């Protein structure tokens, strides 16, 4: 009996090795195929694409991670070539997308993540559909995170890959809606990062920045009035507001972007005010998270100052929030910090006036 078990194990290992060596022997695609301007069905070049995908796609659902990841990497390689043409992307997508649709919903996270990485690298509407279904699903946060990262890979492609402007607009809207309702803060942060990855010359770069402001404003509201925030929440908010600071400090910043960035920063300041109150109640002044809170207040104020300068260049505004928040964190009085914050978001504050015209009630704090 023992010898039979050993023979069966050896046979199984040999079968695995044979399968692995078979996929390893698949010949890479010709450069001329990858850069081809047309790949018509029935052509020899198109058949080469179909054969390449068929030879490797089966290994994407292997139970052996090493085999699965090698197949993923080999399938990714042609898509990452700088001269991969849109015709090639579309032909590759037509061959691979049917497999990716089923693999992306696999109960094995490793299989699903491989599929989502490939979907994001294709730069096609079929790939976007696979990512959309995953980001809108009730799958674990790790899968939605992989979908958000895939959307970023697609979004950051020069020229949008094989996606036209209308398709890019749809992807942008999808990411904003997903960001607004996402319950996991790390997935939300990845969505915001993906939106910010749009090239500056992309036709949707402005829309993407505004989408971050709107989506992250919803995330801030989601985490207000929910007790003291975790370091994860503080870290994601800080990353996003620092990225936005980089946008509003650019020369000739778009006015709509400046207004939306100010709303985002205003929501973050309302969040900071509530966190200060919670820290006071819990007696946590000066704890580990307080340095991030101070940085969050400083970056938010910087966004407001730069946005205001772009919108109302003749009006001098000085930074007052950072020192008052730092003193409050160290155990000082909360009043000065709330007062400085309310100069922006309180009743009669700057964000109620022109050109913002926000209702201060959306920024209401506990102070």
Domain boundaries of the chain, sorted by first residue: 10-205, 224-367
How do the pLDDT tens digits run along the chain, 367 residues long? 444 444 444 344 444 444 554 466 789 999 999 999 999 999 999 999 999 999 999 999 999 999 999 999 999 999 999 999 999 999 999 999 999 999 999 999 999 999 999 999 999 999 999 999 999 999 999 999 999 999 999 999 988 899 999 999 999 999 999 999 999 999 999 999 999 999 989 999 999 999 999 999 999 999 886 777 888 999 999 999 999 999 999 988 999 999 999 999 999 999 999 999 888 766 555 555 688 999 999 999 999 999 999 999 989 898 899 999 999 988 888 999 999 999 999 999 999 999 999 999 999 754 4
Cβ atoms of 83 and 110 closer than 8 Å: no
Calpha distance 52→77 (Å, rounded): 12
pLDDT at residue number 7: 41
Q: What pTM was computed for the model? A: 0.89
Q: What is 10-205's CATH topology?
A: 1.25.10
Q: In angstroms, what CA-CA distances link 338 with 40, 302, 342?
A: 65, 17, 6
Q: In angstroms, what CA-CA distances link 282 with 277, 293, 365?
A: 9, 15, 17
Calpha distance 52→350 (Å, rounded): 60
- 42 burial type by CB count under 10 A (0-12 exposed, 13-18 middle, 19+ buried): exposed
pLDDT at residue number 226: 73
pLDDT at residue number 284: 54
Angle between helices 125-135 and 141-155 (to 10 degrees): 150
Calpha distance 329→276 (Å, rounded): 7
Helices (H), the chain: 2-24, 31-34, 44-57, 65-79, 86-103, 109-122, 125-135, 141-155, 165-181, 185-196, 205-223, 231-248, 255-282, 290-311, 321-329, 335-345
Structure tokens at 100: 């990716």
pLDDT at residue number 159: 87
**Phi, psi at 321, each rounded to 5°:** -75, -45
């Amino acid at each position: 009996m023992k010898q039979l078990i050993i023979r069966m194990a050896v046979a199984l290992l040999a079968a695995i090795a044979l399968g692995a060596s078979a996929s390893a022997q698949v010949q890479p695609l010709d450069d001329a195929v990858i850069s081809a301007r047309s790949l018509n069905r029935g052509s020899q070049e198109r058949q080469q694409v179909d054969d390449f995908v068929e030879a490797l796609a089966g290994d994407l659902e292997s139970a052996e991670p090493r085999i699965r990841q090698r197949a993923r990497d080999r399938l990714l390689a042609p898509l990452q070539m700088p001269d991969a043409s849109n015709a090639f992307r579309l032909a590759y997508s037509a061959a691979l997308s049917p497999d990716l649709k089923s693999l992306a919903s696999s109960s094995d996270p490793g299989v699903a993540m491989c599929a989502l990485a490939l979907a994001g690298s294709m730069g096609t509407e079929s790939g976007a559909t696979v990512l959309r279904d995953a980001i809108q699903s009730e799958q674990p946060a790790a899968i939605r995170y992989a979908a958000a990262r895939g959307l970023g890979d697609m979004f950051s492609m020069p020229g949008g890959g094989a996606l036209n402007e209308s398709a890019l607009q749809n992807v942008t809207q999808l990411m904003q809606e997903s960001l607004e309702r996402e319950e996991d803060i790390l997935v939300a942060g990845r969505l915001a990062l993906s939106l910010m990855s749009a090239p500056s010359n992309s036709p949707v770069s402005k829309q993407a920045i505004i989408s971050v402001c709107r989506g992250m404003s919803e995330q801030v509201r989601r985490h207000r009035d929910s007790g003291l925030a975790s370091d994860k929440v503080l870290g994601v908010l800080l990353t996003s507001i620092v990225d936005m600071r980089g946008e509003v400090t650019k020369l000739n910043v778009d006015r709509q972007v400046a207004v939306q960035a100010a709303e985002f920063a205003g929501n973050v300041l309302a969040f900071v005010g509530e966190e200060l109150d919670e820290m006071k109640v819990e007696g946590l002044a000066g704890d580990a998270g307080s340095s991030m809170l101070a940085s969050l207040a400083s970056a938010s104020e910087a966004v407001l100052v730069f946005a205001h300068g772009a919108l109302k260049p003749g009006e001098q505004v000085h930074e007052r929030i950072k020192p008052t928040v730092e003193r409050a964190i160290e155990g000082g009085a909360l009043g000065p910090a709330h007062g400085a914050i309310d100069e922006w978001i309180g009743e009669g504050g700057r964000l109620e006036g022109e050109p913002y015209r926000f209702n201060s009630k959306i920024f209401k704090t506990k102070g």
